[in-house]
Amino acid sequence: MKLLSERTETFTDSVIRRMTRIANACGAINLSQGFPDFDPPEALTKRLSEVALTGPHQYAITFGAQNFREALSDKQFHFSGLRYDPQTEIVITCGSTEAMMASMMSVCNPGDKVVLFSPFYENYSADTILCGATPVYVPLSPVDLSFDADVLESAMKQPGVKALVLCNPANPSGKVFTREELSVIAFLAVKYDLYVITDEVYEHIIYAPHRHTYLSTLPGMFERTIECSSLSKTYSVTGWRLGYVLAAAPVMDRVKKVHDFLTVGAAAPLMEAAVTALRFDDSYYAGLQAHYTHMKQLFTSGLRNLGLRFTEPQGAYFVLIDISEFGYGSRGSHAGDKLPDEQFCIDMTQKVGVAAVPGSSFFREPVDHLVRLHFAKKDETLYDALNRLESLNKLKR
């Protein structure tokens, strides 16, 4: 068995955060790391200012403040129809990053395997490796982002597979899995007695006519779905680091133990303030969807006017842009053996003033002709970025 120090040598530091550092160094517009440049809801920040004076300022109970868990249970029931017990089926984490790690550590042992769809958010493979498990990749079609059910079954029935990770809506592709696709996943999870760890942080950022279906609501899936999410994207508070895990009590018993020793607990004053957001009515979520639909239309229309080819997001706030036309050559033909998309992103950040993420960091397959940008920004920021992207031709070789 590999030691932890040996496991970390099998992956690099976060490419997304690395591109943010490069963007900051040269004053580029950061469309690499997915955080907004607009404020959270005023009611939320007003409540935070009150909490700063009145508290609480000491530890909350390790698995989350009681009123926060109760409010979250109510919100989840409203949107999914499932009632999670605040005492036994909810744990509040330090962001969805910890939620995913705690969940994976709760169901996987060294030597196990975890199925991941490719493309995937970079943390998933790192989480798997840190647990001592081995990733098993299932590619999504480059045409329509569908999956082959036979290929998925071949992966899920391998000896030692304990779980599948599902990001829905998906980062980086913007795919929203249909109910029919989720039914296939659910059928196979039941058939092979597997857990599904879901990352649903973009659950409220969906573009018509697509709809979000909670996997845990499908037959046989409540007991084997470990749902991870956070407040970061829904309420524009990525820096608050408030995530959560929802799962049946037997699984949650294990998640709580891992969480307790990973971080002790989430920030008490932030949980107190965030109860306000969890109690928002439907008008907030309708406004959120309208706001993101507007940003998507603004940004994708601008990309079309520039003649760029990209994936049309169904949810989340990312686009994958095809950079084949820029002639960056073959893999490993650049300075320091950088991949074409890596070198392109560095050049675009430094010479055009817009930062993106190389697509190769999201794929198991040898994909090096895509870069990811996000559009969770003010109108003026997006217009500025599009104006800068007009000079992309200077990068053509």
126 domain-assigned: yes
Of 247, 281, 315, the last residue of a domain is 281
Residue with tokens 């990053």: 97
Same domain for 304 and 169: no
Same domain for 359 and 246: no
Same domain for 385 and 270: no
Same domain for 316 and 274: no
Question: Which domain range does residue 85 map to?
Answer: 42-281
What's phi and psi for 122, nearest 5 deg?
-55, -30
pLDDT, tens only, 62-110:
999 999 999 999 999 999 999 999 999 999 999 999 999 999 999 999 9
Dig out the tokens for 1 from the structure: 């068995």
Same domain for 277 and 136: yes
81 domain-assigned: yes
For the chain, the domain total comes to 2
111 domain-assigned: yes
Q: Which of 141, 136, 174, 172 is nearest to 360 (CA)?
A: 172
Question: Mean pLDDT over all residues of the chain?
Answer: 94
196 domain-assigned: yes
Length of the chain in terms of residues written: 397
Give the number of other CB atoms < 10 A from CB of residue 239. 11
217 domain-assigned: yes
Same domain for 329 and 204: no
Strand ranges, E, within 51-194 = 90-94, 113-118, 134-139, 161-167
Same domain for 303 and 256: no
| pLDDT value at residue 330 | 63
Same domain for 289 and 154: no
Q: Which of 220, 150, 234, 229 is nearest to 191 (CA)?
A: 220
Tell me the one-letter amino acid at 108: C
Q: Which is it for strands 134-139 and 161-167: parallel, antiparallel or unpaired?
A: unpaired
What does the pLDDT average to over 365-393?
96
**Taking 80 as the threshold, does the pLDDT of residue 337 lie above it?**
no
Of 281, 298, 315, the last residue of a domain is 281
109 domain-assigned: yes
Dig out the tokens for 79 from the structure: 């949107």
**Taking 90 as the threshold, does the pLDDT of residue 226 lie above it?**
yes
| Range of weakest confidence among 1-10, 12-21, 378-387 | 1-10
Residue with tokens 């989840």: 76
* DSSP, residue by residue, 91-125: EEEEHHHHHHHHHHHHH--TT-EEEEEES--HHHH
Give the number of other CB atoms < 10 A from CB of residue 53. 6
Same domain for 193 and 226: yes
Same domain for 303 and 226: no
Are 214 and 200 contacting, i.e. CB atoms less than 8 angstroms apart?
yes
| pLDDT value at residue 342 | 94
Cα dist. 206→5, 10, 291 in Å? 39, 35, 11
Dig out the tokens for 61 from the structure: 């109970």
Per-residue pLDDT band at 4 (split at 50, 70, 90)? low
| pLDDT value at residue 11 | 54
Q: Give the span between the Cα atoms of 284 and 206, in whole angstroms.
A: 14
Q: Give the span between the Cα atoms of 152 and 115, in whole angstroms.
A: 9
397 domain-assigned: no
pLDDT, tens only, 146-167:
999 999 999 999 999 999 999 9
Contacts of 154 (CB under 8 A, 6+ apart): none
Same domain for 193 and 86: yes
Q: Give the span between the Cα atoms of 124 and 135, in whole angstroms.
A: 9
Dig out the tokens for 77 from the structure: 């029931």
Per-residue pLDDT band at 143 (split at 50, 70, 90)? confident
Tell me, what CATH number does 289's domain have? 3.90.1150.10
Same domain for 185 and 73: yes
Are 164 and 114 contacting, i.e. CB atoms less than 8 angstroms apart?
yes
On the question of a cis peptide bond just before residue 209, with omega within 30 degrees of 0, the verdict is yes
Q: Which of 381, 369, 325, 362 is nearest to 345 (CA)?
A: 369
Of 216, 251, 281, the last residue of a domain is 281
Tell me, what CATH number does 263's domain have? 3.40.640.10
146 domain-assigned: yes
